[in-house]
């Protein structure tokens, strides 16, 4: 292990895509609906539009246009109401729509996530560092058995990743120097932003996050401190 890596005391994890499979979970939730209209929907297309337009684009806009915070739960709901129209889901009740929006509180972990986190937390502090709301992350952990030591969220800062202040405040709240914290994500942009604030970085490859391997961030950049195939591999590489 490199000397710098031995100094790591806490890991901060991106959650959507890195720890949990949002796409598979949304597809499953859609396919489980009993409504007549739901049977005609391409749920993979639905999931991709929900994520890309409802979350990614909304957050990029908020970060571009200046300090703005809307709970990710509310961003999801806004886009969901639009998609219900676009995909002809007219027979969904309002209660069903609100319930479907809660799927983001119950996303399924990748098969290695819980076991890998259990290993990592024996020696290191494991925390979320997600744009998801505190409540969403807490509910998800409880639902899926994700053994976090601490729930840190961009909501606590009032700015979304990759704004620098989110990483800075996380290190401060963990009571550590940024160099003692390692950001873990399946997304190069998140890692690059954390690195600018002095964090160490670990890429965890998630080739299936977007259903299409070509869309995943799988390239090991020379500045990354660790590149791991999954959470167990990360535990191996960090000596846990």
Examine residue 225 and tell whether it contacts a copy of itself (CB under 8 A): no
Residue of 56, 142, 196, 215 that binds a copy of itself (CB under 8 A): 142
Q: For a copy of itself, which residue of 44, 114, 115, 134 counts as binding (CB under 8 A)? A: 134
Minimum distance, C-beta of residue 59 to a copy of itself, in the bound complex (Å)? 19
Burial 75-93, CB ≥16 within 10 A → b, else e: bbbebbeebbeebebeebe
Closest alpha carbon to 18 in 101, 125, 99, 126: 126
Enumerate residues 6+ apart whose C-beta is below 8 A from 84.
Answer: 90, 92, 97
Q: H or E element: which one contains 173? A: helix 164-173
Nearest to 217 by CA among 127, 199, 198, 208: 208
Say whether residue 156 binds a copy of itself (CB under 8 A): yes
Beta strands in the chain (DSSP E): 10-13, 20-21, 108-109, 125-130, 150-153, 181-185, 200-204, 226-228
Nearer to a copy of itself, 181 or 203 (CB): 181
Near a copy of itself in 108-127, by CB under 8 A: 121, 125, 127
Considering the complex, what minimum distance in angstroms separates the CB of residue 216 from a copy of itself?
30
Q: Which of 141, 154, 184, 235 binds a copy of itself (CB under 8 A)?
A: 141
CA angle 93/94/95 to nearest 5° reads 90
* Minimum distance from residue 139 beta carbon to a copy of itself (Å): 8
Residue from 53, 73, 229, 233 in contact with a copy of itself (CB under 8 A): 73
- Applying CB under 8 A, does 149 fall inside the site for a copy of itself? yes
Given the rule CB under 8 A, which residues bind a copy of itself?
Answer: 71, 73, 121, 125, 127, 133-136, 138-139, 141-142, 149-152, 155-156, 173-176
């Amino acid at each position: 292990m490199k000397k710098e890596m031995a100094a790591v005391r806490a890991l901060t994890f991106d959650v959507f895509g890195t720890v949990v499979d949002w796409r598979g979970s949304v597809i499953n939730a859609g396919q489980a609906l009993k409504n007549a209209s739901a049977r005609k929907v391409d749920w993979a297309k639905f999931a991709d539009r929900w994520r890309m337009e409802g979350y990614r684009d909304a957050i990029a806009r908020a970060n571009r246009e200046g300090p703005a915070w809307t709970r990710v739960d509310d961003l999801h709901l806004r886009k969901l109401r639009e998609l219900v129209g676009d995909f002809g889901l007219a027979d969904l009740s309002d209660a069903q729509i609100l319930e479907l929006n809660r799927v983001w509180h119950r996303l399924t972990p990748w098969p290695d996530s819980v076991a890998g986190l259990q290993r990592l937390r024996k020696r290191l502090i494991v925390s979320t560092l997600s744009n998801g709301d505190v409540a969403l992350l807490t509910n998800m952990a409880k639902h899926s058995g994700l053994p976090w030591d601490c729930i840190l969220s961009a909501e606590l800062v009032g700015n979304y990743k990759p704004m620098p202040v989110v990483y800075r405040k996380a290190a401060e709240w963990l009571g550590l120097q940024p160099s003692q914290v390692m950001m873990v994500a399946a997304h190069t942009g998140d890692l690059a932003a954390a690195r600018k604030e002095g964090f160490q970085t670990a890429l965890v490859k998630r080739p299936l996050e977007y259903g299409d391997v070509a869309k995943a961030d799988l390239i090991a950049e020379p500045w990354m401190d660790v590149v791991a195939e999954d959470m167990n591999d990360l535990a191996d590489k960090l000596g846990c």
